Structure 1
Amino acid sequence: MVEITQSTVVTPSEETPKHNIWLSNLDVVAARGYTPTIYVYPSTGRKDFFPVDALKAALAKALVVFYPLAGRLNRDPETGRPEIDCTGEGVILFTASLDATLDDFKDFAPSAEMRKKLVPVADSADPPCAMMMLQMTRLRCGGVILGFAIHHYTFDGRGASLFIKTFSAFARGDVGTIPSPFFDRTLLRSRSPPSISFDHSDYTPKIFQSKAHSSTSAQVVCANLKLTKEQIHSLKNLAGGERVSTFRAVVAHVWKCTCIARGLASNVETQLLLPVDLRGRFKPPLPPTYIGNPTMRTKAVAKVEELVSNTLEYGANLIQRAVDNITDEFGRSLIDHLESMDLEALCKRGAMSNTSLMAISWLSVPMYDADFGWGEPILMARAQMYGSGYVYLSRVPAMDGGISVIVGLEPDSMQCFKKILYEEIEEKIL
């Protein structure tokens, strides 16, 4: 049972700019609501381990740099469009205690129960609401878990990692190398007049609102599966050799195994949804510290029979072609296309069909760059998944080249999936 021992509002340590931040079309159609993540730290045995006052002071300084987080999500009074109102009101920090030890998180998998224990829950993610909440939970063994709830309109995973890096640097007193975030999202305004040069019919809510064969968050179980460096090497060889990225090789394998575990009919069409970071694809590229959601999704499509019966290289090539389609002009065309749509209706997502899978890569994002003065976390993960069919790939520093594959699937599919994920690798090796 978690016990909240204190709550306080942490405001920026200095005066911050007061203005509104316009949200791009890509921001508004991004995943709606709060992204719940946890960072787990083992105790050093010292009595002054993770002092809450030092955490508050570091957060207050970080909120000067990332001042939009201290604001509120509101609406433009004329258009009703969501926007970030940089008010400097601050972030709520909860401190809590939990009768648990680090051993209880050894095989951590996201769940609604974990989210309720470790990450603050907002009454609503609709305006007006806070941009961020934080909970520091101290375990019986002395370990600490930081649980962040950050509104997705604020930024994507890359932006989140830059904030955590900044926050932790202030805690360590090492602020010499903190890069400045870039908050101007007008770089992603639609063109005038719009120029829609591609088919963007995929950008409809239908893939997230299929009533038949769909799963809600109550019908999902999650597993945190590990792949060693050697297993990844084997998958790469099966997918076309070392030229194939870890993401392509692993996701092609996961996609194939998911179709088998779900028992999909051979003539059914399955689709793999892939969020693509556009920062380096626009011309000129966006600033590397651009804060927002400069991402769009693409998809790879195949008949189940073709995906399952072919080699892993077949699926890996489908993924590569889907990602290669995303260019500067494609991204700009999508932004123009979205200009005429009801963006908030578009981002109200229900459950995905069980023929769909979405794979998100955190492999190139330094998620473990979060040393608050007591070493890097031993675990960083989402606290909860909101539906079936989501896959997250991330590095695990302690695994020496290995990765974590966090998967959310229907309960009647998960056991089979976990079994064949490894069996398929071993069989191909033999």
Structure 2
Amino acid sequence: MATVEVLTSEVVVPAEETPAGAVWLSNLDLAARRGYTPTVYFYRRNGDDEAAFFAADAVRDGLARALVPFYPLAGRLGLAGGGEDGRVQIDCTGEGAVFVTARSGHYALDDLMNEFVPCDEMRDLFVPPTPAPNPPCALLLVQVTHLRCGGVVLGMALHHSVVDARSAAHFAETWASIVRGAPAGDAPVPPCFDHKLLAARPARAVLYDHPEYKPEPPAHAATASTYASAIITLTKQQVGALKAACAGASTFRAVVALVWQCACRARALPPEAETRLYSMIDMRQRLSPPLPPGYFGNAVIRTSTSATVGEVVSNPVGHAARRARAVTSQGDDYARSLVDYLEGVDAMNLPRSGISRAHLRAISWLGMSLADADFGWGSPAFMGPAIMYYSGFVYVMNAPGKDGAVALALSLEPESMPEFRKVFAEEVARLGL
């Protein structure tokens, strides 16, 4: 098994004094998966000599400076009032983020580009070990690993109770802009930590059912934490043809519709079985009024739609795309209803295990520009999740260096993945993609 050699491990504190106190967390923060979200960025060495490429001092100093505007990430998860029964919050202690440097004599970047799939091994190699995700715990851990070819893997673990994917990207973009010395006018917008913008209303009004935040019936067997994962790329032309077959559906809806169909077939589910498509929807621009551009926290909600397996697999892919639209069309009233619903339950202890083997959970990372993660040595050659946790997940991402292409990071049961690859390739060919 490949290993990496840890060279240094330290705690980086903000470069300047930062505000103390606590940051209140919204119900959407509390309802997020309790734990860390590990991601990896792959960088190909440019013309700089090896010592200058991703020099640890420059990256570390940039992190210290980035922690000034993003000071909550230098804090610790805490409890209001300090007691065991207090509401979870961020204690802005300024204690700092974990920063690790490492070296791999085994991997070159091209090896990783060919072999990488999200899994325990990759997470363990390129992302620092994370503590139990309960108060008091660090909120940010990063690792810079130099490969034998001179390339670099940047691994980050951010606590999901304080950030969603959009906020994580916002922090990475700011950190990168500082290291590369971007002009002040080109810096990302400052973060906004006013989570009260997503507080429950004084007179709660739960207008929808919100089954995505309730336990599944016991009859549904949950997916296992053992899974097979894959990275699959669709070209710009294939994405365009697929969207045309889906009557102009968005990229996310069209791609997820095809994955949903193929997953149902690969799993050999009976036609009468219920299959549910879950999604995470960013509500920043869907609220009325919208959240500030730099809102930093969890602003995504879980939504879902269901159908029988027979309905999904026997109809054209456009039908599944129309069903997917029901997952992604919610607005302010739905989000406010959810926040109000979560006010009446123990949001920190919602069910967070895997989903039924018949279901699929789709997450969009589209629109998170890799060009903005340029630390001064070029944009990443790849960015994606380091691990998937459960089977039945699909991330839809922009493929690096390929304008309009889409990359899928997918996890399924080990016995289903070979058939999925076969079925997916057949469907792509059948659609003339």
TM-score, normalized by length of structure 2? 0.95
Q: Is the 8 A contact 2:123 2:387 kept in 1?
A: yes
In structure 1, the partner of 2:289 is 284
Going from structure 1 to structure 2, the CA distance change for 1:228 and 1:168 (only over 3 Å counts) comes to same
- Alignment map for 1:278-317 (pairs within 5 Å): 278-317=283-322
Q: Is the 8 A contact 2:25 2:90 kept in 1?
A: yes
In structure 2, the partner of 1:401 is 404
Shift of 1:103: 2.0
Q: Does 1:117 align with 2:125?
A: yes
Superposed CA offset, 1:222-252 (max 9, x none): 1000111121122112211xx3211111110
- Secondary structure (helix, strand or coil) at the match of 1:142 reads coil
Aligned pair count? Answer: 423
Superposed CA offset, 1:262-292 (max 9, x none): 0000000100001111111111111121111
Shift of 1:27: 0.6
In structure 2, the partner of 1:354 is 357
Q: Does 1:411 align with 2:414?
A: yes
Shift of 1:317: 0.7
Shift of 1:21: 0.5
Amino acid of the structure 1 residue aligned with 2:196 = T
- Secondary structure (helix, strand or coil) at the match of 1:106 reads helix
In structure 1, the partner of 2:88 is 82
Amino acid of the structure 2 residue aligned with 1:332 = R
In structure 1, the partner of 2:68 is 64
- Residue of structure 2 aligned with 1:154, choices 150, 162, 182: 162
- Residue of structure 1 aligned with 2:203, choices 169, 193, 196: 193
Q: Is the 8 A contact 2:103 2:145 kept in 1?
A: yes
- Alignment map for 1:153-192 (pairs within 5 Å): 153-176=161-184, 177-178=186-187, 179-192=189-202
- Residue of structure 1 aligned with 2:255, choices 235, 250, 257: 250
- Unpaired segments of 5 or more residues in structure 2? none
Which is further off, 193-202 or 382-391?
193-202
Shift of 1:261: 0.2
In structure 1, the partner of 2:33 is 31
Q: Does 1:203 align with 2:217?
A: no
Report the Cα distance in structure 1 between the residues aligned to 2:241 and 2:109, rounded to whole angstroms. 32
Report the Cα distance in structure 2 between the residues aligned to 1:221 and 1:198, rounded to whole angstroms. 35
Going from structure 1 to structure 2, the CA distance change for 1:69 and 1:368 (only over 3 Å counts) comes to same
Superposed CA offset, 1:40-88 (max 9, x none): 1112251311110111110010000111110000111255211000111
Report the Cα distance in structure 1 between the residues aligned to 2:164 and 2:183, rounded to whole angstroms. 23
Report the Cα distance in structure 1 between the residues aligned to 2:210 and 2:221, rounded to whole angstroms. 25
Report the Cα distance in structure 1 between the residues aligned to 2:249 and 2:34, rounded to whole angstroms. 32
In structure 2, the partner of 1:340 is 344
Amino acid of the structure 1 residue aligned with 2:119 = S
Which is further off, 63-72 or 192-201?
192-201
In structure 2, the partner of 1:220 is 227
In structure 2, the partner of 1:263 is 268
Going from structure 1 to structure 2, the CA distance change for 1:173 and 1:409 (only over 3 Å counts) comes to same
In structure 1, the partner of 2:139 is 131
In structure 2, the partner of 1:43 is 45
Report the Cα distance in structure 2 between the residues aligned to 1:114 and 1:202, rounded to whole angstroms. 30
Report the Cα distance in structure 2 between the residues aligned to 1:215 and 1:271, rounded to whole angstroms. 13
Amino acid of the structure 2 residue aligned with 1:233 = G
- Secondary structure (helix, strand or coil) at the match of 2:128 reads coil
Going from structure 1 to structure 2, the CA distance change for 1:192 and 1:136 (only over 3 Å counts) comes to same
Amino acid of the structure 2 residue aligned with 1:365 = M
Q: Is the 8 A contact 1:12 1:88 kept in 2?
A: yes
- Secondary structure (helix, strand or coil) at the match of 2:352 reads coil
Q: Is the 8 A contact 1:234 1:425 kept in 2?
A: no
Shift of 1:399: 2.1
Amino acid of the structure 2 residue aligned with 1:190 = A
Amino acid of the structure 2 residue aligned with 1:20 = A
In structure 2, the partner of 1:3 is 5
Amino acid of the structure 2 residue aligned with 1:5 = L
In structure 1, the partner of 2:150 is 142
- Alignment map for 1:366-377 (pairs within 5 Å): 366-377=369-380
Which is further off, 376-385 or 169-178?
169-178
Shift of 1:315: 0.7
Shift of 1:213: 3.9
TM-score, normalized by length of structure 1? 0.95
- Secondary structure (helix, strand or coil) at the match of 1:180 reads coil
Going from structure 1 to structure 2, the CA distance change for 1:66 and 1:353 (only over 3 Å counts) comes to same
